[in-house]
Amino acid sequence: MIGNSLMRTILFGLSTITISLIVCVLLGEFLVFRFVLPASDIPANIFDSNVVKYEPNQTGIYRIRNEIAAPFRINSNGWNSHHDRYPLQRTDGKIRIGIIGDSYVEALQVPYDQSLSEVLERNLGDGVEVFRFGISGAPLSQYWHMLREEVIQFRPDLVVLVLTHNDFDESFSYQPGRYTSSFLKVQIENGNVSAEYPPQPYRTSLLDYIRLSATVRYFYYRWKINATNLKRGLLAWFYRPRENTHQAEKHFQANIDVTNTLSRLDRIRIASDYLFCKISNFGYEHAVDILIVMDGNRSSIYSGTTQEEHIQNGALALNRMVLSTTRRHQLAFIDLHPVFDLEFNLGGERFEFESDSHWNMLGHRIVGEQLARYVLDKVGLYTKNLNDSVKLAAHNKVDTCSTD
């Protein structure tokens, strides 16, 4: 009798706990994380015309912790933008600019009308329209794919590619993620790019439905409780400064594991040379001006570390590599490191969020204004090119890229 009574008590306790947990989960899912402590909204993806983008006509508020609550608006073309749609037809008398990039161009962290694209458009006035094409996680290889498959159909006068430091090795190495297989990759063999691996069609999976959960969106997206950040936190603790105060900084800079990335520098040079070659040739063939823009190593600016030290042993080695490669392929290049360095010395304000390394509104404003200065120097060239009556420049030779 005592045994049966004890068993009933245990079962009753387990049942009570189970029911309580279910009630808590349901309350969290349908009340707490939707109205009291709202989760971050996340736009859904699609694969359209061989390009992964966002399902058209979505709105929401992207949240990170208690610092970021930025409204986004996915237009009818599938891109976050203040433009309701990107028309294929050119507007008479208007210069058209396309901006390609990853999450820095997607810019969910700032209101949809405050990214570098909208800053650029406002600075240049009514005679210019700026369309942005940003998808989180995209590498340089995918920018090349987006240029020829998506952006060129809008017949831009200028295309800006915004690079960050993780755009290079991810062009040829596999990265985990929901849609990273839908990015174009290149294959490197015997010191050359031997092939392009086309993007795999993105298909909705069980993971897409799970991420619709308010509970998942609250913890995973708003508070960034995920395996990647846990790993990064452990690395930061393991490499925390001890006798060498720069040890942690040298290990992780500008959103990359410096040691691991620079160990692939030879392969990065090969992939970058091929991709910039293809992009340059494409620009000349289609009478499109191409501008490459690259983020700086902001942590070294804040810490006052000398630029030369980071060029030799840190993330800025990639900036130097891009400078030499773009020169070789006759591409315009703006290195944002000295731009941010000057602005920080003048104003002392940081260019990203405390809880997120992406540019804040100040960062976007500075980049947008820098781009505006570049465009103002080229207005005459773009105006002449509006009717496709002239080429951007005399170019007697088209470079031969690795797989040509």
Digit-coded pLDDT (tens) for 185-237: 999 999 999 999 999 999 988 889 899 999 999 999 999 997 666 665 665 56
pLDDT number for residue 226? 75
Exposure letters 198-231 (e unless 16+ CB within 10 A, then b): ebeebeeeeeeeeeebbbbbbbbbbbbeeeeeee
Amino acid found at 399: D
Please give the share of the chain, as a percent, with pLDDT higher than 90: 70
Residues 100 and 161 sit within 8 Å (Cβ to Cβ): yes
Q: What is the DSSP string of 90-115?
A: PPTT-EEEEEEESHHHH-TTS-TTSS
pLDDT at 331 > cutoff 60? yes
pLDDT digit string, tens, across residues 108-120: 999 999 999 999 9
Q: How far apart are CA 352 and CA 58, in angstroms?
A: 26
pLDDT number for residue 290? 96
Least confident of 101-105, 222-226, 267-271, 372-376: 222-226
CA dihedral 178, 97, 368, 175 (to 10 degrees): 20
pLDDT number for residue 305? 78
pTM: predicted TM-score of the whole model, two decimal places: 0.91
What ranges make up the beta strands (E) of 310-404?
A: 332-335
What ranges make up the beta strands (E) of 315-356?
A: 332-335
pLDDT digit string, tens, across residues 339-357: 999 999 999 999 999 999 9
* Domains and their CATH numbers in the chain: 41-205+244-385 (3.40.50.1110)
Phi and psi at 10, nearest 5°, equal -65, -45
Least confident of 25-34, 271-280, 293-302, 381-390: 381-390
pLDDT at 180 > cutoff 90? yes
Amino acid found at 240: R
pLDDT number for residue 21? 86
Q: How far apart are CA 45 and CA 205, in angstroms?
A: 11
Better-scored residue on pLDDT, 247 or 228: 228
Q: How far apart are CA 136 and CA 45, in angstroms?
A: 11
